[in-house]
Amino acid sequence: MNGRIFFQTIFLVGTLVACDSPQNPLAYVKETHGRGKAVVYVEESFKPLFETSISTFESLNPKADITAKYLPEGKIIQAFFDGNVKTITITRDFTKAEKKYLKSKNVEVSSDRIALDAVALIVNPENTDTTISISRLRKILTDKNSIWPTSKQSISVVFDQMNSANFNYITDMLQTKKLGDNVFAAKSNEEVINFVKKNKNAIGIIGLNWISNQEDFEVLNFLDGIHVMDVKLTEDSESFKPINGVIYTKEYPLIRDVWMINKGSRAGLNSGFVNFMMGEKGQIIIHKSELVPANNPVRLIQMSPKQ
């Protein structure tokens, strides 16, 4: 009898130890804000930011395992409504109609704006036409005036993918899905950058996050061989590069929000990761990525000219 009790005690202790072992799948049974497994879908424009954010979050929470899938915005939204993912990052909140539909299916979602981002226009360094207005961009994208002023060469425009955040932003701005024959898609923001490096008459349309963090060695490699265009609202207005100060003041014309939408358990890992991105550490990562954090605005310093 005593032997049986001793054996059961050893078995119970061994089970508890095994459950707490990071190598044991049972370690993920009790999901919390910092423990468990989660899959998030992220618009490909924000891949650099989220690779850093997930790595940091997992280093702070060793029992957390987050897998990110980087997809175009349209596919991400469809996957959410199909019930294939609980947490997504896109460039807009759901519409009232979309939220009403989800509510009719008893799906409770939370939407959080985590940052302010921008669309960047890039050209080859050999191109001397480095400033563009929104009105001129519209003409180029609709193939109504697609000749470079200086070289007199035809302009080709490349973006990442159909139905991506970059594509949707530009076509929404134009209020049309019909673009000129001079506009085509690559497969990713990275491929857009590489195309522009090889083609001196091209304009690339990318998410700023791919070239914003100049402390990142890979970003510096991307910047080597491209030039970021200055953009102005009209032909007569001042032009700006997409840096966080003028994104915050909305003087740069091509800006957009970054949203995280979540239907995961409030006590689960999905919600824990959203809270992290909305909290101090996540907002610091966003700031270091040269985007504008939603909760910790950029500090603007006005320099007075010397007398």
CATH number at residue 126: 3.40.190.10
Structural domain includes residue 146: yes
Give the per-residue pLDDT at 37: 96
Q: Are residues 237 and 133 in the same domain?
A: yes
Q: Are residues 208 and 173 in the same domain?
A: yes
Q: Are residues 268 and 168 in the same domain?
A: no
Give the per-residue pLDDT at 20: 42
Q: H helices within the chain, ranges in order? A: 2-19, 47-60, 73-81, 96-104, 134-141, 165-174, 189-198, 209-212, 217-223, 244-248, 269-278, 280-288
Give the per-residue pLDDT at 299: 55
Q: How high is the mean pLDDT of the chain? A: 87
Q: Are residues 111 and 25 in the same domain?
A: yes
The yes-or-no verdict on residue 53 having pLDDT over 90 is yes
Structural domain includes residue 11: no
In terms of pLDDT, which residue wins out, 228 or 143?
Answer: 228
Q: Are residues 263 and 160 in the same domain?
A: no
Which residue's entry shows tokens 């090889």?
A: 198
In terms of pLDDT, which residue wins out, 264 or 214?
Answer: 264
Q: How many domains does the chain have?
A: 2
- Closest by alpha carbon to 49, among 294, 299, 295, 287? 287
Give the per-residue pLDDT at 102: 95
The model's pLDDT over 169-179, given as tens digits with 9 standing for 90+, comes to: 988 988 877 89
Structural domain includes residue 169: yes
Q: Are residues 127 and 232 in the same domain?
A: yes
Could you give the CA distance from residue 93 to residue 97 in angstroms, rounded to a whole number? 11
Choice among 152-161, 184-193, 243-252, 293-302 with the minimum mean pLDDT: 293-302
Q: Are residues 124 and 241 in the same domain?
A: yes
Structural domain includes residue 13: no
Q: Are residues 71 and 145 in the same domain?
A: no
Q: Are residues 70 and 110 in the same domain?
A: yes
Contact of 108 with 129, CB cutoff 8 Å: no
DSSP code per residue over 189-231? HHHHHHHHHH-TTEEEEEETHHHH-TTSHHHHHHHTT-EEPEE
In terms of pLDDT, which residue wins out, 146 or 219?
Answer: 146
Q: Considering 255, 272, 302, which residue would you say is the last residue of a domain?
A: 255
Give the per-residue pLDDT at 214: 60
The yes-or-no verdict on residue 57 having pLDDT over 60 is yes
The model's pLDDT over 65-104, given as tens digits with 9 standing for 90+, comes to: 999 999 999 999 999 999 999 999 999 999 999 999 999 9
Which pTM was predicted? 0.85
Q: Are residues 159 and 67 in the same domain?
A: no
Give the per-residue pLDDT at 216: 62
Structural domain includes residue 250: yes
Could you give the CA distance from residue 201 to residue 7 in angstroms, rounded to a whole number? 77
Percentage of the chain lying above the pLDDT 90 cut = 74
| Host domain of residue 72 | 20-116+258-293
Q: Are residues 123 and 243 in the same domain?
A: yes
Q: Are residues 212 and 222 in the same domain?
A: yes
> Which whole number is the average pLDDT over 31-60?
96
Structural domain includes residue 9: no
Structural domain includes residue 102: yes
Give the per-residue pLDDT at 151: 94
**Backbone phi, psi, residue 163, to 5°:** 65, 20
Q: Give the distance, in angstroms, between the CA of residue 297 and the centroid of all CA atoms in the same chain.
A: 18
In terms of pLDDT, which residue wins out, 99 or 221?
Answer: 99
Structural domain includes residue 279: yes
Could you give the CA distance from residue 285 to residue 52 in angstroms, rounded to a whole number? 8
The model's pLDDT over 4-40, given as tens digits with 9 standing for 90+, comes to: 443 343 333 344 344 444 444 444 457 899 999 999 9
Give the per-residue pLDDT at 220: 60
Percentage of the chain lying above the pLDDT 70 cut = 83
